[in-house]
Chain A
């Protein structure tokens, strides 16, 4: 077990190194750099040259990359080229804001999707099952920006119950005004709920048709026990894979949802960093996203092994 974790963490480390190299490479290849972005249209060649020298952009690319990566290894993600402040300082509160959004959406959608999925699966073919299926299909089919705007039209423009934008004053927590979180969370929950619920439903139906569930029924066990002890644990195996893939996808959704509601999270920072070629910021956010993705995969594998004795690693 310990060795398994060791191996997986070193693999994650390698993945992150490759990701950082790829992002560095791409920003190098793209036309334009941070100096041009800062000076804008009014730049003169001389000013550009001076700024580049100040920022150290005149040195060879590999040298800058090696310097940056040594910094990272010592816990220093560098300074934002645009704001000239440590990246960690800028991203700290942004990360917090995004986490509030993502974690709440995850905690709401996954358990409820599993419950509803099991509920619909054991009633396969009933009207309740059909209704739930249609609703979840709609939730999946609509992109977040559409869902988000529909919510804004209904709850802000028409009913006026909720604020249409979720601006947070710098230095305050979004939790101080929870009302601004409702619509972003609802938007993110919708799609994740749809996927997980459909997957759970399909797997529960499949598990109910297996021979071991038949054995459980013919043992004379009460129905709840057949479902929750025999069908659901086996149905969760493929569902876990879907959940872990969706976590990665959720991070992408985060960027869109934050733009739609003007919510100051990592997503907005990422878009700004890309626009301004702010490499240290871009690297830090990308590494965060990649790490989240890799770790959620690792957690999914661990949960899978926990539920499935056949692939458990012998120690």
Chain B
């Protein structure tokens, strides 16, 4: 990534946020969402605002837009072009919003009006802020759609948001923001929730825009890889305060705040030169605790490995050294190993070849729920959807199979078929050599106790009305032969084992943070020592610091109880960190499978290559690779012919890809299998 914006940035700042404070008055008391935040954005520069969820990043972003619903008190200054936006009246704000300051949101699907065509949604911005004729508005809209890389820009205005993919929707939202050539663009987690391949194309667009439009961009994200890809400068927030502010390279290479250093060490990285994957370091505790009380102390002190007495007696102010600002008394003590020694990922390798989970030619078909459109007349039923096609895999004792792929690739369906929530259509599934019945109701208690599942969303998986002890003791009593008291004691021990205070046992889920809830879900899955656990995006909703804790917890449990894992994630970095074997799925098909190292290195399936290429590295100097996939995973139906990946493949060769199912090729007759028409020796990475 080139950084040629330095020469443009010595002008006066476009946006200056000075000591911003935002308090929400809620029935349960005052919440200080932002205590002390300061940042600047200059024209032509991208400032990344990073921090865990709950740190107040989005509140800062929405304060700049003057959009804080509810009863709010705002202190400090937000200077845009010298004018203070705090306390500005609504009509002045209306004139700026969408015109001089525009915003791009997380979750584009809900940010567009579902009942309005794209065209009118664009035209109303132009009509409100610009003095243009009908024809000019029309052509300007087409121009804008074209500038964000939307295919067929002249007809897209006739479509409704739900007719577009997530990536296209976000391009529309970006086009809306660019409509009046704003001075300042605020992007709030614009790629969060998009598939990694879509994220890569949107990030390319933003990097490209940065050079084309003469605007300053404030880019809010919790994802350090994304920040490294787009930002020129980075501001780090922790628990309602900005704690560090510097050039992107200084932040990533020599962080001066222990929190920044901690965040960086929580991100899974590839194996080092010796082939050893370093164990993730994690930041103990969570930001959740630091949000309410505010004594005269450093807010990060309770989680800081280098906290001194001074840190709990005084609150540090921002200090500046050569443009590198940091809120810490001891920035000189921050080094790469304050968060612990570099250790290998785990200190054992399983020697046991006993197969715990086995699937042979597993197939899952979905019949359309509405086979016919209408009750009496109507179309014939569509052919069934092929959700999983001929998946065969084995997971041996205390090893982990990682499954990766975009949404719609069949990862979750595979896990749901294994656990018995979704009916398989053919093939066999074995647990410890015994056949698993299709329906979980027909399985033996032992099988149900031995195979457990952890879901993505802990808030939705735990009963909100019951104390968390129910979730854990129920499994213990069902599967573990515990009486009431025994189950209660064991549940406390399990909570402690997953790093939670055992006294939490009487709390209801809403009194825990997301990371704590997920650990409760894990404790419940660990109850009665299952042989295998299926983890479906179990860490995807967690912040990196908590994610690192949970991943290490999984590895420790695996070591202590010889558990086997099927670990499903869209995040290649995370899968790479935990897995011994990896299976790459696309549209229900297994594109590639084999030992983790072999799958993640060359030769690889073009889809694996594209996935690897799309994942943003938390390194501002990393060369972004160029393989990009447009569109989304198609729905595969019966009667489909050819290669499942042909539609989006960047290495498609000839007719064969459209007509013939690709063969399963074995690399050097090992168990590393690639399903592709291209000969193995030509599947070496091209980037």
Contacts and interface: CB of A to CB of B under 8 A. Distances in A.
Interface in A216-252: 216-223, 225, 229-230, 233-234, 237
A223 B93 CA distance: 12
Contacts of A209: 69
A225 B105 contact: no
Contacts of B96: 220
B98 A218 contact: yes
A309 B114 contact: yes
Contacts of A10: 376
A220 B128 contact: yes
Interface in A28-75: none
A3 interface: yes
Contact of A309 (B103, B160, B376, B377): B160
A210 B110 contact: yes
Interface in A81-96: none
A210 B378 CA distance: 36
B111 interface: yes
B317 interface: no
A221 to B, nearest CB: 6
B114 to A, nearest CB: 6
B160 A229 contact: no
A116 B103 CA distance: 33
B97 interface: yes
Tell which of B65, B102, B374, B377 has the most Cβ of chain A within 10 Å. B374
Tell which of A209, A212, A307, A308 has the most Cβ of chain B within 10 Å. A212
B113 A216 contact: yes
B176 A219 contact: yes
A219 B114 contact: no
Contact of A219 (B98, B110, B116, B160): B98
B97 A219 contact: yes
Contacts of A223: 90
Contact of B375 (A11, A218, A225): A11
B490 interface: no
A267 B336 CA distance: 85
B111 A211 contact: yes
B125 interface: yes
Instruction: State the main secondary structure of chain A at its contact with B.
Output: helix
Given A220-B94, A220-B129, A230 B111 contact: no
Interface residues of A, number: 30
Interface string B152-193: 000000001010000000000100100000000000000000
B162 A310 contact: yes
Given A229-B116, A309-B162, A310-B162, A221 B111 contact: no
Interface in A1-16: 3-4, 6-7, 10-11
A215 interface: yes
B374 A218 contact: no
A214 B61 CA distance: 13
A215 B111 contact: yes
Contacts of B160: 309-310
Contact of B65 (A218, A308, A309): A218
A212 B162 CA distance: 13
Interface in B363-415: 374-378
A218 B116 contact: no
A11 B95 contact: no
Contact of A229 (B90, B112, B124): B124
Interface in A240-298: none
B640 interface: no
Interface in B42-93: 65, 67, 69, 90, 93
Q: How large is the interface on B (under 10, 10 to 19, 20 to 34, 35 or more residues)?
A: 35 or more
Contact of A215 (B94, B105, B128, B375): B105
B374 A7 contact: yes
B247 interface: no
A260 to B, nearest CB: 41
B113 A234 contact: yes
A11 B90 CA distance: 53
A251 B107 CA distance: 45
A119 to B, nearest CB: 19
A221 B65 contact: no
Contact of A221 (B67, B103, B124, B173): B124
B460 to A, nearest CB: 20
A307 B114 CA distance: 10
A245 to B, nearest CB: 21
A308 B161 CA distance: 12
B198 interface: no
Given A212-B110, A307-B115, A218 B128 contact: no
A267 B114 CA distance: 42
Contacts of A233: 115-116
26 contacts: A7-B377, A7-B378, A211-B107, A211-B110, A212-B110, A212-B111, A212-B113, A212-B114, A214-B67, A214-B111, A215-B113, A218-B67, A219-B98, A219-B176, A220-B129, A222-B94, A222-B128, A225-B128, A229-B124, A230-B113, A233-B115, A234-B113, A309-B114, A309-B115, A309-B117, A309-B162
Given A212-B112, A220-B94, 20 more contacts: A3-B378, A4-B374, A11-B375, A209-B69, A214-B111, A215-B105, A215-B173, A216-B113, A219-B97, A220-B93, A220-B95, A220-B97, A221-B98, A221-B128, A222-B128, A223-B90, A234-B113, A308-B114, A309-B114, A309-B162
Interface of B: 65, 67, 69, 90, 93-99, 102-103, 105, 107, 110-117, 124-125, 128-129, 160, 162, 173, 176, 374-378
Interface of A: 3-4, 6-7, 10-11, 209-212, 214-223, 225, 229-230, 233-234, 237, 307-310
List 7 A-B pairs, minimum CB-CB distance, nearest first: A220-B97, A220-B98, A219-B98, A211-B110, A212-B113, A309-B160, A211-B111
